[in-house]
Amino acid sequence: MFLVNLRRIRFIFKKPLHNNILLYDGISKSKMDSISKKYAVFYNRYEEINLYVLFYTIFTNGLKNIKKNYKVNFFKFISPKVIITFNDCDPGFFMLKNIYKDCKYISVQSTSKPKHFYKYIKDSRKKIPSCKFFSDYIFVFGQIDLDNHKKIIDGKILKYGSFENNKYLIKKKNLFIVKKKLHSKEILFISSFHFDTLEMKIKKDDSFKKKLAHFILIFNKICKICIENNYKLSLLSKDGEEFENTYRNYFKLNNWNYIPKRTINGISLASFYSTSGYETIPNYNYEVVNNSFFVVTDHSTMAYEALVKHKRVLIIPSKQVMKEIFYGKLLKNSILFIQNPTYSNIELRIKKMFNYSPQKWNVIARKYSSLCMAFNKNNKVLKKYLRKCIKN
């Protein structure tokens, strides 16, 4: 387990120093940097291994259960007051209290959880009743996630929203741009796919093929709707500029503007992710969403983040996604959802949502955003609980 992909592993020789905060999983360093600069990192994917801790573990505990003992010894050397993760889709985090009890735990939701996450924990609790799934504080998107978490994970659960979305506030300049988008009847379609890894996923996952086919079908219909109704259309991509032609080759019509993921020093974020391996950087697509008036997606979480900022939102998920993610009956039966995506159904819904008055739409947005996405300005609540854990 430790000797896989040796070339990618960074080896550290120094003894870990004490720190009040330990970040669990280095993939979230950029998020942690925005709330604290003083913290240590446990690289759960083992892209970094501390040889001091490894040798100490071998000499003290032997080779049996080396992965678990390495983790415990690393925690002991750091002796944190709080262990925090933004990778809350890893069930292993919620089991850490079973092996190391001398600190508080905080989990922060970063993405919509698939149903198999809850099933795994539910099945594990049945098989091993003595094994608890726990975090002292569990920050989740909204009410749907809160209801699902409280059934299987112990701890104080708080509706909190999206960490990234909470940082990107609506400003006066955004409001000015939004008015122009309303006047021009512009739609922003948010893609849920990374086209840089498309071929690999198509080969491995039949379900993924169906999701992709749904995305292509839906976007083609919206392209035609926009032509016939004189709407403007933009596609917000998860990939860089170099993938624009790839996207256009998948669709029949070209009446849309391609918005790539931003670049840093000429390097696309997609390329940066693949080369860095473990570290992420801020998502500039939130500024695009803040400037939007009407958002459509197949199943991107950014649609909920847009809704909490009172954007017009329409979600058209595939049957496969509906089976994998909890949406809740109230949300699925709302104006925000289309479960039978015929051309006429989509066109009528878009026209209806464009015609809502701001006052009426704000009522709708408040009603449904509380289900799927809360909002906490500048992540003040998380910072408050983090300080509380350090002081105690």
pLDDT in tens, 155-169: 999 999 999 999 999
* Residue in the structure block whose two tokens are 């939007």: 292
**Other C-beta atoms within 10 Å of 86: how many?**
24
For the chain, give every domain's residue range.
6-161+378-391, 170-373
Q: Phi-psi region for residue 116, left (φ > 0), alpha (ψ -120 to 50) or beta?
A: alpha
User: Is the per-residue pLDDT at 201 higher than 50?
Assistant: yes
Q: Average pLDDT of 78-98?
A: 95
Which candidate, 287, 279, 324, 331, places its Cα nearest to that of 305? 287
Provide CATH code, domain 6-161+378-391: 3.40.50
Question: Percentage of the chain with pLDDT > 90?
Answer: 73
- What is the predicted pLDDT for the residue at 158? 97
- What is the predicted pLDDT for the residue at 180? 81
- What is the predicted pLDDT for the residue at 390? 94
What torsion do the CA atoms of 152, 25, 50, 30 make, to the nearest 10 degrees? -160
pLDDT-based confidence at residue 6 (cuts at 50, 70, 90): low
pLDDT in tens, 110-119: 988 999 999 9
pLDDT in tens, 322-351: 999 988 889 999 999 999 999 999 999 999
Q: Are strands 267-268 and 263-264 parallel, antiparallel or unpaired?
A: antiparallel
Which candidate, 70, 127, 120, 128, places its Cα nearest to that of 99? 70
Q: Is the dihedral of CA 298, 333, 372, 233 positive or negative?
A: positive
- What is the predicted pLDDT for the residue at 283? 66
CA distances from 153 to 66, 90, 124, 236 (A): 27, 13, 12, 35
6-161+378-391 and 170-373 agree in CATH topology: yes
- What is the predicted pLDDT for the residue at 5? 55
CATH topology of domain 170-373: Rossmann fold (3.40.50)
Question: How far, in Å, CA of 244 to CA of 195, rounded?
Answer: 10
User: Is the per-residue pLDDT at 262 higher than 60?
Assistant: yes
Question: How far, in Å, CA of 95 to CA of 108, rounded?
Answer: 15
Helix, coil or strand: residue 168: coil
- What is the predicted pLDDT for the residue at 275? 33
DSSP 177-245: HHHHHHHTTEEEEEP---GGGHHHHHHH-HHHHHHHHHHHHHHHHHHHHHHHHT-EEEEE-SS-GGGHH
* Residue in the structure block whose two tokens are 């080369």: 275
Q: Average pLDDT of 372-376?
A: 94
- What is the predicted pLDDT for the residue at 270? 38
- What is the predicted pLDDT for the residue at 75? 98
- What is the predicted pLDDT for the residue at 98? 94
Q: Average pLDDT of 42-46?
A: 92
- What is the predicted pLDDT for the residue at 183? 78
- What is the predicted pLDDT for the residue at 266? 40
- What is the predicted pLDDT for the residue at 276? 34
Considering 26-40, 73-87, 171-185, the range whose residues carry the highest mean pLDDT is 73-87
Helix, coil or strand: residue 151: coil
CA 268 and chain centroid, separation: 19
DSSP 329-389: HHHHTSTTB-SS--HHHHHHHHHHHHHS-HHHHHHHHHHHHHHH----GGGHHHHHHHHHH
Which residues does residue 259 pair with via DSSP β-bridges, in sequence order?
Answer: 236
User: Is the per-residue pLDDT at 277 higher than 60?
Assistant: no
Which candidate, 282, 356, 280, places its Cα nearest to that of 314? 356
User: What value does the mean pLDDT of the chain take?
Assistant: 89
Higher-pLDDT residue of 201 and 309 is 309
Least confident of 152-166, 193-207, 306-320: 193-207
* Residue in the structure block whose two tokens are 């009743």: 129
Q: Is the dihedral of CA 141, 144, 150, 153 positive or negative?
A: negative
User: Is the per-residue pLDDT at 273 higher than 50?
Assistant: no
User: Is the per-residue pLDDT at 265 higher than 60?
Assistant: no
Q: Average pLDDT of 189-215?
A: 85
- What is the predicted pLDDT for the residue at 256? 96
pLDDT in tens, 220-249: 999 999 999 999 999 999 888 999 999 999
